[in-house]
Amino acid sequence: MMFKKVMINRSDFKKINDWLWEIPKDFRSDMRVSCRIYASEKMLGQIFRDQSIPQLINGATLPGIVRYAIAMPDCHEGYSVPIGFVGAMDVSEGIISPGACGFDINCGIRLLKSEYSEKELKPYLEKLATEIQKEVPSGLGMGREKKLSLQEIDRILERGAVYLAERGYGRKEDIENCEGAGRLEWAESRAVSYHAKNRGRDQVGTLGSGNHFLEIQKVAEIFNPEIAKDFGLFEGQVVVMVHTGSRGLGHQVCSDYLKEFIPLMYNKYKIKVPDREFACVPFNSPEGQKYFSAMASAANYAWANRQMISHYLRETWKKVLGQKAKELEVLYDVAHNIIKREKYKINGKEMDLIVHRKGATRAFPPEHPEIPFRYQKTGQPVIIPGSMGTASYVLAGVQTGEQAFFSTSHGAGRTMSRRAAIKRISGSQVVNRLADKGIIIKCRSFRGIAEEAPMAYKDIDRVVEVVHRAGLSQKVAKLVPLAVVKGE
C-alpha cells in the first residue's frame, strides 16, 4: 500500500496556545483522532518542512487510538510515525505496532551523579575520558571480546538490570532508580528469536554508534533549587550521562516482528493503515501479546546494557580517582523508545492504554505509583540529552503532563540531514570547535562526527522551553559537557 501524500497548509493548524497546535480530525477522512503538536510558532515552521506532519496524521489513523496523536517539539521525520511521537491505544480494541516503537527498543538515558565539582575533577578529566573510551566499546556496531552464552542472554532478557545487580554489577538503588525498576516482568525470552539473542551476545556493556554517546558533564545552571536539592544536584557538580539502547538485539526483535506482522495485518486481521511499516496487530491477540513480551525483553536488555556500562564507569572512576573515590549514584534511567501499558482517564472513564512512545520520554508526576518513593514529592526525573557537545537537561514530571500521556521530548531533534551536515562541516572541524570550547572529545575516527554536529540539530534550549511552558515537565537543571566519548 502506498504512503498517502498530504497537502497541508499552515491554515490547517488550529492554534490552541503559544506552545500547542492542532490538526483537527476532519482534516483527512481516515483520521480517528486529531493531531496535537507541541511547538513554538518558529519550530512549527521547521517541523512543517519535512514529512513529520503527514507521518503524524498517519499515526492518528491507527485503530484504537484515543484522545490525540501527539508530536513533541523535537520531532522530525522517521518511518511509520515521526520521531517524537506519542500515541495511546485502547487495550480492548487497539493495536500494538512494532514500527511505532522502532528498532532501538528502550533507547534511553541514564544519569549518574558524582560528589565532585568541576574544579576538583578537572585535572583528571582527560585521563577519565581516555579510560572510559577503552572500557566501554563505542563504535562500529561491534561488541565486547567475550560473548555471553544464550542462557545468560535469556536471563538478561527476562530479568534485565536486576540480574546484573544480583551478580555484583550494581546496587539496589541503581535498580530502584530505573523506569520499570530495570525489569519489565511481562518479558519472555522465548518470544525473542535466536537471531536476536545471537546479536546480543557480545553487546551487553557497549554504547554503539550513531547518536549514542557517553558524556562527563557539569551542572551549569539550576532552575528549581528545591527539586534540584531533592535530586541531589548542585551547581558545578560533575555528572555522567549514558545514551544507548538495546543495540543489535533490539533491532533484530523489531525486524523479526515487522516481517511476521505485515502478512497478519493485511490477511488475518484486515487492518488498513497508510504505511506498511506500522505492521500492527490487535494488542489483544496472541501475536500482539508475543511482541509485547519480546519488546519488554529487549527493553530489559537495554537496561542491563546501561547497567553494565555503569559498572565499567564505576571501575574506571576508581582506577583514575583512587579506591576512596565515592561511587557514582544513579539519578534515574528512563526510556524514550518503548511501549507501555498505563492507566488514564478518558472522557471521565479510567482506561487501560497501550502507550507508544517513539522518541518521547516518560515523565510521571509527583505521587505516581510507578515512581520510586524518593521522587514521590518531586515527580520523576526526566532526562533530555542534547546533541553531541551541547547542553542537556534534567526536568521533573508534573501533573499537567497528563495531557500528553505524561510524556516529554527526548532530545534536540534533527533539523538538517546527515548529508547536508557533511557538506557543511567536516568531522575534524566539529572536534576543533568543541575543543575551542574546552570540551574533550574521544572518538576513534572522524567518520560520523560531522553528521552529529550541533548545527544539524534544533536548539535544545528552545525545545526544553516548549515542554516547560506547555506544562509537560518542569525545568530543574541544565547540564553542559566537559568530555564526550562517542562511537565512530
Partner 1 sequence: MKKFEVLEHKADLKIKVFAKGKKELFENAMIAMFEAAQYKPLAGGEEKKEEIKISSFDFSSLLVDFLNEVLYLTETKKEVYQRAEFEELSETGLKARLWGRELKTMGVNIKAATYHQLELKKGKEGLLEAIILFDV
Active site residues: 410
Is-contact 231 476, C-beta < 8 A?
yes
- CB-CB contact of 313 with 206 (8 Å): no
In terms of Cα–Cα distance, which of 3, 2, 1, 22 is closest to 12?
A: 22
Residue 394, beta-bridge partner list? 383, 477
Measured from the CB atom, is 45 or 438 closer to partner 1? 45
**244 contributes a contact to partner 1 by CB under 8 A:** no
Strands (E), 387-439: 392-397, 407-408
Q: Which stretch binds partner 1 (CB under 8 A): 75-83, 110-118, 318-326, 434-442?
A: 75-83
Q: Which stretch binds partner 1 (CB under 8 A): 15-23, 109-117, 258-266, 384-392?
A: 258-266
Which residue type sits at 143? G
Q: Which is nearer to partner 1, 379 or 454 (CB)?
A: 454
H or E segment at 311?
helix 286-321
Q: Which residues contact 181 (CB under 8 A, 6 or more apart)?
A: 162, 175
Site string for partner 1, 178-217 (x = CB under 8 A): -----------------x--xx--------xxx-------
Q: Which of the residues 108 through 127 are near partner 1 (CB under 8 A)?
A: none
- For residue 416, give Cα distances in angstroms to 103, 247, 459: 21, 24, 12
**Closest approach of Cβ 451 to partner 1, in Å?**
7
458 is a contact residue toward partner 1 (CB under 8 A): no
Q: Does 152 bind partner 1 (CB under 8 A)?
A: no
User: Is 251 among the residues that bind partner 1 (CB under 8 A)?
Assistant: yes
Cell numbers describing residue 310:
555503569
Q: 53 is written with which cell numbers? A: 506532519
> Cβ 82 to partner 1, closest distance in Å?
10
362 membership: H or E segment, kind and range? strand 361-362
Count the site residues for partner 1 by CB under 8 A. 49
Whichever of 26 and 145 has its CB closer to partner 1, that residue is 145
Contact status, residue 397 vs residue 473, Cβ threshold 8 Å: yes
Q: Which of 117, 130, 255, 285 binds partner 1 (CB under 8 A)?
A: 255
Check if the beta carbon of residue 483 is closer than 8 Å to that of residue 389.
no
Nearest residue (CB) to partner 1, 131 versus 451? 451
DSSP 124: G
Q: Is 290 in the site for partner 1 (CB under 8 A)?
A: no
- CB burial of 125-148 (b: ≥16 within 10 Å; e: otherwise) equals beebbbbbbebbbbbebbbbeeeb
Stretch that binds partner 1, among 110-118, 172-180, 249-257, 428-436 (CB under 8 A): 249-257
Pick from 13, 19, 103, 364 the residue near partner 1 by CB under 8 A. 103
Closest distance to partner 1 from the beta carbon of 259 (Å): 6
Contact, 199 vs 245, CB < 8 A? no
Closer residue to partner 1 (CB): 258 or 353? 258
**Nearest distance, CB of residue 282 and partner 1, angstroms:** 19
Question: In what helix (H) or strand (E) does residue 484 lie, and over which residues does it extend?
Answer: strand 473-486
CB of 99 to partner 1, least distance (A): 8
Closer CB to partner 1, 200 or 389, in the complex: 200
User: Which residues are registered as beta bridge partners of 87?
Assistant: 356
3 binds partner 1 (CB under 8 A): yes
Rounded to whole angstroms, what are the CA distances from 401 to 40, 239, 322, 336?
Answer: 17, 26, 43, 16
Q: How far is the CB of 484 from partner 1 (least distance, A)?
A: 18
144 near partner 1 (CB under 8 A): no
Q: Which of 12, 50, 152, 402 binds partner 1 (CB under 8 A)?
A: 50
* 6 scored as a contact of partner 1 (CB under 8 A): no
Q: Which stretch binds partner 1 (CB under 8 A): 10-18, 157-165, 271-279, 375-383?
A: 271-279
CA 263 to CA 82: how far, in whole Å?
A: 23
> Three-state SS across 29-88?
CCCCCEEEEECCHHHHHHHHCCCHHHHHHHHCCCCCECCEEEEEEEEEEEECEEEEEEEE
Write out the binding residues for partner 1, residues 426-445 only, by CB under 8 A: 445
* 104 touches partner 1 (CB under 8 A): yes
Q: What is the DSSP-derived secondary structure letter of residue 285?
A: S
Which of these ranges, 178-186, 247-255, 362-370, 375-383, lies near partner 1 under the rule CB under 8 A? 247-255
Q: Nearer Cβ to partner 1, position 91 or 140? A: 140
Q: Which of 44, 83, 191, 485 binds partner 1 (CB under 8 A)?
A: 83
Q: Does 78 sit near partner 1 (CB under 8 A)?
A: yes
Question: What's the Cα-to-Cα distance from 45 to each of 53, 315, 387, rounded to whole Å?
Answer: 11, 46, 20
Take residue 164 and report the three cell numbers written for it: 546484573
Q: Does 418 bind partner 1 (CB under 8 A)?
A: yes
* Residue 95, beta-bridge partner list: 282
Nearest C-alpha neighbor of 333 from the set 306, 352, 351: 306
Does residue 91 bind partner 1 (CB under 8 A)? Answer: no
Query: Which stretches of the chain bind partner 1, using CB under 8 A?
Result: 3, 50-51, 76-80, 83, 99, 102-104, 140-142, 195, 198-199, 208-210, 248, 251-252, 254-255, 258-259, 262-263, 266, 275-277, 279, 414-420, 445, 447-448, 451, 487-488
